[in-house]
Structure 1
Amino acid sequence: MEYILQPWPWYISGPLIALVMLLLVYFGKTFGMSSNLRTLCSIAGGGKYSEFFRFDWKAQRWNLVVVIGALIGGYLASNFLSDHSVIDLNPATVADLKALGFEDAGAALVPAEIYDWGELLTVKGLLILIGAGILVGFGTRYAGGCTSGHAITGLSNLQLPSLIAVIGFFIGGLLMVHVLYPLIFS
């Protein structure tokens, strides 16, 4: 019998996320990916150049396991737990993306027009990559955390600043898709 791989349903993955959050709250920890970048910069000696990186990074070592787990889990899911089928995009979305120049919209998980090395190593690709990195870095620092930290940990702890940040993330995402993408890729 052939086993067809499927994504985990919400009623399995949702409670698993809730269980992880309960364990983090129980042990007095908070979850977020952007804090790992601060930890890695501190390990690499960033504290010599900026006060922001002068902290006890050893207390955050446990969170680096999250990054390692995300990398290993992503590799395992992509190479062993995926049927490599393409995503089922709405035909209107495919048409909109093709109008913006994304030729293989719906045929691949990520568009080659953005993520292909040939595209990244162009002047436009490098400007987009550097600009996006600056905006994400600034936004993460200004918001006091990343989308995963605010949306998962902050909202689970009923923190108002996290709710405001998540609303801001959604508004920023909508502006990016509906205003900036057409300007950049048309």
Structure 2
Amino acid sequence: MLEILRQPWPWYVSGAVIALVMILLLFFGKSFGFSSNFRTICAACGAGKHVPLFDFNWKTQIWNLLFLVGAVLGGAISSTVIASDQAVQISQATIQDLQALGFAPPQGLQPDELFGLETIFHLKNIWIMLGGGFLIGFGTRYAGGCTSGHAISGLSDLQWPSLVAVIGFFVGGLIMTHLLFPLIF
């Protein structure tokens, strides 16, 4: 069983599971998105007393908090119990692009020059993480949701703002990959 879980799953299996989850969420009148958990956690901690955004009945979102906990536990289990010592499989063109920027091919899930424990405390990396976290938080709030909420839940619900947001995510990703990433590194 562990060998099956360690293998990459085909897109049509993952897509079918995501579609099934979305059908169930739509049936029960729920919308999916991880960024809404931040609002729920803040409301549960009493932030609604000071900020109107957090003043709502957070108990209606317990199902989403359980999903968040399950995602974290699933990540912990996959990184320990079913972890593979095989490096992530990426295209040769990506390896060449990374090498041109000074990164070695990943030996695990990501390049150690970016995410290794010995580099995480360099001042440049701390600023990159803080800046990226701020931009993600601001962008999530400004766009009214995160990439998973808009791309999976919003598009399956045929919401026009989600289509605009997803196009913006892709354009932003292309700008980051081809213009900003080479400048930063």
TM value normalised by structure 2? 0.90
1:79 offset after TM fit, Å?
Answer: 2.8
User: Deviations for 1:29-66, whole angstroms, at most 9, x for unmatched residues?
Assistant: 00000000111122223224322222211111110011
Distance in structure 2 (CA, Å) of the matches to 1:112 and 1:45 = 39
Distance in structure 1 (CA, Å) of the matches to 2:133 and 2:57 = 25
Is the 2:106–2:112 contact (alpha carbons within 8 Å) kept by the matching residues of 1? no
User: Deviations for 1:63-121, whole angstroms, at most 9, x for unmatched residues?
Assistant: 00111111122223333334331122222321221221212x23221122222233222
Aligned to 1:49: 50
Aligned to 1:168: 168
Distance in structure 1 (CA, Å) of the matches to 2:29 and 2:79 = 32
Distance in structure 1 (CA, Å) of the matches to 2:46 and 2:130 = 23
Distance in structure 1 (CA, Å) of the matches to 2:84 and 2:119 = 27
C-alpha change, 1:124 and 1:48, in structure 2 (3 Å) is: farther
Distance in structure 2 (CA, Å) of the matches to 1:118 and 1:46 = 36
Aligned to 2:67: 66
Is the 1:120–1:129 contact (alpha carbons within 8 Å) kept by the matching residues of 2? no
Query: Secondary structure, in 3 states, of the residue corresponding to 1:110?
Result: coil
Aligned to 1:40: 41
Aligned to 2:80: 79
| One-letter identity of the residue aligned with 1:163 | L
C-alpha change, 1:60 and 1:106, in structure 2 (3 Å) is: same
| One-letter identity of the residue aligned with 1:170 | F
C-alpha change, 1:48 and 1:123, in structure 2 (3 Å) is: farther
Aligned to 2:182: 182
1:144 aligns with 2:144: yes
Percent of aligned positions that are identical: 54
Which ranges in structure 1 are unaligned for 5 or more consecutive residues?
none
1:171 offset after TM fit, Å?
Answer: 0.6
Which ranges in structure 2 are unaligned for 5 or more consecutive residues?
none
1:163 offset after TM fit, Å?
Answer: 0.7
Aligned to 1:107: 107
Distance in structure 2 (CA, Å) of the matches to 1:66 and 1:94 = 34
Q: How many residues of Structure 1 are paired with residues of Structure 2 in the alignment?
A: 183
